Chain A
């Protein structure tokens, strides 16, 4: 009877997808910094940068605060336009 409970607890509690709108991403080489900044966060499991649609998609295995997301984008040299959790 304990197995279903253990299985449930093994999934990340705050796993979510975060879509971040970013201004200024015109150079793919420079935008590599965004992947690097978020890659350093243990809660972020995947980073996708879409230059055409001007947003970054984060897959997380834990809660990542909006302030942390804004700080990382600004450290990479860009500006945040929106943060959505669809």
Chain B
């Protein structure tokens, strides 16, 4: 039993090295690669993708979900992401993304965000399934950046996240996190009020 957490951490670190997923950035600039992973105790969402146009990206997606009985489900999916709508404003940007994946299970979902240099709001709704298993995942976030960083500077955010996964828990997990990005790397650290830790790493290449 003592080995289980260590194995979980090693798995998470391995996935951090090879992949990447936080809210937003499923499609980036044309010919750009994005890798991301978000890890919580009961969940891992890891993705790697290539944007072959500014509107479409394709890649892989790994999911790990654990329920209250300790049973784990894993999904390995090929995934297609579509930027269905983007609003480029003077001081803000808004996006609507559609997701579809298929492999040893399936997934479909949508994601929307709006941000300025100091405010962020976003939400994601996904349906994941496998034989004899399916679940819905919902994520919502609001964020505030206490200062406006220059292009080459370190940008910092304070965010509040709400997470609901029907398979892992009946309750919605809510908690604060801090987000930083510097050049092409984004990382987040946070916790839910239920005591779960959250780590995110994202890289644009």
Contact = CB atoms under 8 A, between A and B. Distances in A.
Interface in A57-86: 74-79
Contacts of B25: 30
A31 B28 CA distance: 10
B86 A28 contact: no
Contacts of B88: 23-24, 77-79
Interface in A18-42: 23-24, 26-34, 36-37
Contacts of A32: 183-184, 204
A24 B93 contact: yes
Interface residues of B, number: 33
Does more than half of chain A's interface fall in helix, strand or loop, or is it mixed?
A: mixed
A76 B54 contact: yes
Interface string B15-38: 000000000010011111000000
Interface string B169-186: 000000000000111111
A36 B90 contact: no
Interface string B117-155: 100000000000000000000000000000011111101
B93 A31 contact: no
How many of chain A's residues touch chain B, expressed as a range? 20 to 34
Contacts of A24: 86-89, 92-93
Nearest to A29: B181
A29 B154 CA distance: 10
A49 interface: yes
Nearest to A33: B29
A72 to B, nearest CB: 9
Contacts of B71: none
Contacts of A27: 93, 115, 117, 181
B92 A26 contact: yes
B31 to A, nearest CB: 8
Given A33-B28, A77-B86, A79-B88, A28 B204 contact: no
> Among B83, B90, B148, which residue has the most Cβ atoms of chain A within 10 A?
B90
A23 B151 contact: no
B93 A26 contact: yes
Greatest chain A CB density within 10 A among B29, B90, B186, B204 is at B29
Contacts of A46: none
A78 B29 CA distance: 9
Contacts of B185: 29
Interface string B89-121: 111110000000000000000000001110000
Interface of B: 25, 28-32, 54, 83, 86-93, 115-117, 148-153, 155, 181-186, 204
10 contacts: A26-B91, A27-B181, A29-B155, A29-B182, A30-B25, A30-B28, A31-B151, A33-B28, A34-B29, A77-B83
